[in-house]
Amino acid sequence: MSVIAVGSFLPPPPPYRRIKPRFTTMVSLRSDAVSVAETSSILRKLKEECATPLPVLRQVADAMSADMRAGLAAAHGLPMIPSFVEDLPTGNEKGLFYALDLGGTYFRVLRVQLGGNNERVVATDFDQVSIPPQLMSATCEELFDFIALGLAKLAAKDDGRFNLSPGKKGEIGFTFSFPVRQTSIDSGILVKWTKGFAVSGAAGRDVVACLNEAMERQGLDMRVSALVNDAVATLAGAEYWDNDVAVAIILGTGTNACYVEQIDAIPKLQGHVSSSGKMIISTEWGAFSKRLPSTEFDRAMDAASINPGEQIFEKTISGMYLGEIVRLVLLEMAATGELFGKSIPENLYTPFILGTPDLCAMQQDKSGDLQGVGSLLYDKARVESTFSARKTVLEVCDTIVKRGGSLAGAGIVAILQKMEEDSKGVIFGKRTVVAIDGGLYENYPQYRTYMQDSVKELIGSEKSNNLVIEHSKDGSGIGAALLAATNSMYKHDF
Ligand code: ADP
Ligand code: MG
């Protein structure tokens, strides 16, 4: 994970490099007691600045609701991108469909055989590969050739469970989890890259056209019937099994959220004719930036990123960044508080040397002497640590993870309260399901708990009895294939 992220950042000297020379001469003159006090004071300040008491969570939720409304009306506030998904799968869908999912870390290809109402999902099969780091800054052709090749490989695998009716083209749901401006369900212009991607020649282009050209180069005769992002696909996949799903959230490398909106509540789509009267809106909440608790470490990380000033909510709550924020805090503690002894472990200077999965692994260490924390710090960063230093490291992890999880919860409440304000009872008056997917949510129990606690604190225990937050595992893969089916050119045959 760290390898990929390193490639996404500019070379040194980032601002936090300054930390080292500032303190090296002073360090040896100080007593141990002074160093310990320095570390405690950094920790205390960090906790204060990252705190998310109820009033802060409420301000974040309210500011995000307001930004959602602004974004639905015009070109300010959150992007609130119309997905053009107006019909969700019914269960009648039949046939063979493919899904491609380009996330921030993995690329997945999936095929699914749908059997209609009684049989539903008859068979699935998928391949997953880590996205090679060099592809993240390759050319548009190279990236899409990689995608088309993955599709070609899966399609060529012989397996009797998957059958395309004679004369029909394979249809694809393409999950492309970057901001895309859509004007129809099967096309969309890439607005910008996020999550460390910097592929040349793609921004401003229709990503479906890019994929079509690559498929042609591979000799594949297939059609993209639905272009969606992972949040939209997750919503579709979860709704297929449970009609009460109203919101879907992704918490993985990056983050996003979407929900089902009434067409007449989307002023910027005025005049759009819709048979269902509804459309899934992709909030692009990663771009949110108001009232967020922030520290000098967040600012240093942002300044060194390939998209400074952008995606601030994403940089505060999602998997790509939590480990890096912790690294910057530990580096400061090592430099000014001698957290790891008289010298600063050289490896702590390497951006992304600590990944969010490392924080998670350390927080699961229940041993009395924190042996697991010690060996992970050594394996990952060649850091020798005392018991007291390990405890401090865990407190830093917990502070950053608590802030991330709690703010994710505030974001969920922002969406729910906006929907409830528009139509009283639609959310809190009945059972409502929020479907969540992504490696961060799936694998980090403390993050999940902080998120759920924050939702409950904000909406109160009575309303939260009606609210179900559920993990929709890999719902986005099936969801994209289902949306390909819902928008199939053969759907009159179902
Ligand atoms: P993508 O974002 O590519 O769609 P995922 O949803 O699987 O992929 O998310 C991968 C991200 O999830 C990783 O980059 C990492 O930040 C986070 N993650 C994966 N495993 C863990 C873990 N054990 N603990 C915490 N975070 C994890
Ligand atoms: Mg994903």
Whether omega before 89 lies within 30 degrees of 0, making that bond cis, reads no
Three-class SS state of 76? coil
Ligand with smallest separation from the Cα of 105? 1
Alpha helices in 460-493 (DSSP H): 461-464, 475-486
- Angle, to 10 degrees, between the axis of helix 319-337 and the axis of helix 296-304? 120
Q: What gap in Å lies between CA 220 and CA 206, rounded to an integer?
A: 19
**Which residues are tagged catalytic?**
195, 230
Nearest CA to ligand 1 atom 15: 319
| pTM for this prediction | 0.91
Instruction: Please state, in angstroms and rounded to a whole number, the distance separating the CA atoms of residues 245 and 235.
Output: 7
Distance CA 324, CA 315 (A): 10
User: What is the reported pLDDT for 30?
Assistant: 55
pLDDT at 490: 86
Structure-token pair, residue 291: 């009232």
The stretch 388-399 carries a mean pLDDT of: 98
Cα–Cα dist 311/286, whole Å: 5
Q: Is the pLDDT of residue 402 over 50?
A: yes
In angstroms, the CA 139 to CA 128 distance is: 21
The string of pLDDT tens digits covering residues 456-475 is 999 999 999 999 999 998 78
CA-nearest of 248, 275, 273 to 260 is 248
Cα gap 88→490, rounded to integer Å: 16
- Residue 201 exposure: Cα atoms within 13 Å on the Cβ side: 10
Using DSSP bridges, classify how beta strands 245-251 and 255-262 pair: parallel, antiparallel or unpaired. Answer: antiparallel
Pick from 2-6, 217-221, 274-278, 337-341: least confident: 2-6
Using the atom order of ligand 1, give the atom closest to the CA of residue 360. Answer: 24
Task: Write the pLDDT tens digit of every residue in 64-88.
Answer: 999 999 999 987 999 999 999 999 9
DSSP at 79: -
What is d(CA 209, CA 427) in angstroms, rounded to the nearest whole number?
Answer: 38
Cα(438) to ligand 2 centroid in Å equals 6
pLDDT the model gives residue 474 = 79
How many Cβ atoms sit within 10 Å of the Cβ of residue 58? 15
Which residues touch 216 (CB under 8 Å, ≥6 apart)? none
Distances in whole angstroms, Cα of residue 448 to Cα of each of 315, 333, 444, 445, 455 = 17, 27, 6, 5, 11
Candidate of 440, 447, 472 to mutate for ligand 1, largest count of ligand atoms within 8 Å of Cβ: 440
Nearest CA owner, ligand 1 atom 21: 357
Ligand 1 contacts (CB < 6 A) are 1, 103-106, 252-253, 319-320, 356-357, 360, 438-440, 443-444
Structure confidence at residue 94 as a pLDDT band (50, 70, 90):
very high
Lookup result for tokens 């029909």: 168
Q: Are strands 222-228 and 187-190 parallel, antiparallel or unpaired?
A: unpaired
Q: Would you say residue 5 has pLDDT above 60? A: no
How many angstroms separate the alpha carbon of residue 245 from the centre of ligand 1?
A: 23
Q: How far is ligand 1, taken at its centre, from the CA of residue 247, in Å?
A: 20
Ligand 1 pocket: which of 100, 443, 471, 474 to mutate (most atoms <8 Å of CB)?
Answer: 443
The ligand with the least distance to the CA atom of 104 is 1
Minimum CA distance residue for ligand 1 atom 12? 439
- Give, for 113, the enclosing helix (H) or strand (E): strand 106-115
Nearest to 332 by CA among 23, 44, 47: 23
CB 118 within 8 A of CB 328: no
Q: In this model, does residue 444 exceed pLDDT 60?
A: yes
Cα(22) to ligand 1 centroid in Å equals 35
The C-alpha R_g of the chain, in whole angstroms, comes to 23
- Determine the atom of ligand 1 nearest the C-alpha atom of 438: 6
The first and second tokens of residue 428, run together, are 């809190």
Number of neighbours of residue 383 by Cβ within 10 angstroms? 25
Q: Kindly give the distance from the C-alpha atom of residue 144 to the centroid of ligand 2, in angstroms, as a whole number.
A: 17
H-helix or E-strand containing 194?
none
